[in-house]
């Protein structure tokens, strides 16, 4: 059976997107002569006078941050998207193009970009926040999603941590991009979840979570309200998926006990990542909630966590060659990755005792 082998090359289908990933476990023992990255040290100062996110500091635009004491959000000074009025002013020039209209197609896009500061202390990260501090971050996520969902079709909450993931500022923060159309990943996930719902009358990711909990091979953390697994179809070596235990369409409807359980799970999981690589582990994390505000019974809220590291803090995964031209591929099996993550979580917990 493919799910139990650690030596046979095979492909696995991503039930959430319909795409495939090649798994080549026999390559895991090959010698490595690739890139070596210097380990990243955490900031040693609670306040950085050069940081544009620290309390009281001036940003590039001249705006001054308040002396905030907890999570705080503001509109991005250099947004990737602009509001409807600004977009409509430029729409004519954006959409004009020569050639065949089916080959040269463009469309205006409007949206809003927000920056979410997690904590005033420059040294902190989600993995080092206390449970109450992490709970305050979850509360900020909920408030932002609740506000933006009524105005935009897709609300993408995400965090890039570390320079390896393109983060230009080490202050603990995340972002939200809210847009008036469905981006590519949302379209793929919606298509697969709707198809499953129509065929089976159940929620794809609810069934998947229950199956993973029963099998246990890829389970990383499980608490009263949330489950974290290395997905069967994982692309990144130590990728994880965070899933609620009841049907939830978006963050703005999770209950107080679920919020606290989520804060606990995320802190535990991210400390496990740090312990696994003995460094502040870089990652991209993002939440996928149902589009818009209309009921979407097929959709299940979930978070993706994508760390780029492969063998150690100094060796990362690159998507090149066959992966860019044909199909993504991994050497380490998801089952092996989950085992190592579980062990790292236990190690991280023991250090806190």
Active-site residues, by number, are 173
Distance CA 245, CA 222 (A): 10
Dist CA 286 CA 241 (whole Å): 10
Burial of 36 (0-12, 13-18, 19+ CB in 10 A): exposed
- Residue 67 sits at φ, ψ, to 5 deg, of -85, 65
Region of residue 69 (left: phi > 0; alpha: psi -120 to 50; beta: else): alpha
How many C-beta neighbours within 10 Å does residue 141 have? Answer: 23
- For 163, which DSSP code? G
Contact of 292 with 174, CB cutoff 8 Å: no
Measure the CA–CA gap between 90 and 254, rounded to whole angstroms: 39
CA 236 to chain centroid: 12
Which neighbouring-strand residues pair with 208? none
Contacts of residue 244, defined as CB under 8 A and 6 or more positions apart, other chains included, come to 225, 226, 254, 258, 300, 301, 302
CA 128 centroid distance within chain: 18
Counting Cα atoms < 13 Å in the Cβ hemisphere of 24 gives 12
**Distance set, CA 243 to CA 57, 220, 238, 240 (Å):** 37, 12, 16, 10
Cα distances from 283 to residues 174, 259, 270, in angstroms, run 12, 22, 10
């Amino acid at each position: 059976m493919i799910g139990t082998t650690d030596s046979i090359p095979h492909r696995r289908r991503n039930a959430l997107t319909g795409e495939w990933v090649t798994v080549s476990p026999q390559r895991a023992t090959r010698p490595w002569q690739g890139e070596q990255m210097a380990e990243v040290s955490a900031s040693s100062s609670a306040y950085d006078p050069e940081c544009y996110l620290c309390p009281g500091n001036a940003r590039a635009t001249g705006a001054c941050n308040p002396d905030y004491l907890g999570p705080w959000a503001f509109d991005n000074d250099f947004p990737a998207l602009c509001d409807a009025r600004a977009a409509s002013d430029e729409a004519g020039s954006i959409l004009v193009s020569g050639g065949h209209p089916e080959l040269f197609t463009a469309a205006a896009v409007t949206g809003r970009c927000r920056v979410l500061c997690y904590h005033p202390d420059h040294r902190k990260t989600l993995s080092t926040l206390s449970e109450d501090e992490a709970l305050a971050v979850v509360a900020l996520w909920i408030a932002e999603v609740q506000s933006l969902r009524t105005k935009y079709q897709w609300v993408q909450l995400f965090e890039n941590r570390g320079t390896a993931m393109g983060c230009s500022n080490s202050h603990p923060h995340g972002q939200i991009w809210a847009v008036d159309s469905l981006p590519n990943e949302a379209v793929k996930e919606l298509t697969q979840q709707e198809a499953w719902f129509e065929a089976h009358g159940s929620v794809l990711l609810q069934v998947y979570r229950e199956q993973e909990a029963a099998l246990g091979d890829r389970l990383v953390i499980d608490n009263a309200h949330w489950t974290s697994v290395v997905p069967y179809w994982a692309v990144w070596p130590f990728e994880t998926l965070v899933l609620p235990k009841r049907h939830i369409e978006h963050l703005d409807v999770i209950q107080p006990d679920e919020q606290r359980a989520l804060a606990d799970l995320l802190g535990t999981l991210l400390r496990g990542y740090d312990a696994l690589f003995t460094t502040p582990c870089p990652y991209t994390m993002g939440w996928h909630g149902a589009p818009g505000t209309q009921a979407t019974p097929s959709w299940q809220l979930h978070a993706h966590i994508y760390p780029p590291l492969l063998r150690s803090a100094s060796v990362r995964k690159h998507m090149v060659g066959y992966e860019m031209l044909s199909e993504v591929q991994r050497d380490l099996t998801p089952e092996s990755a989950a085992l190592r993550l579980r062990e790292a979580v236990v190690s991280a917990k023991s250090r806190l005792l």
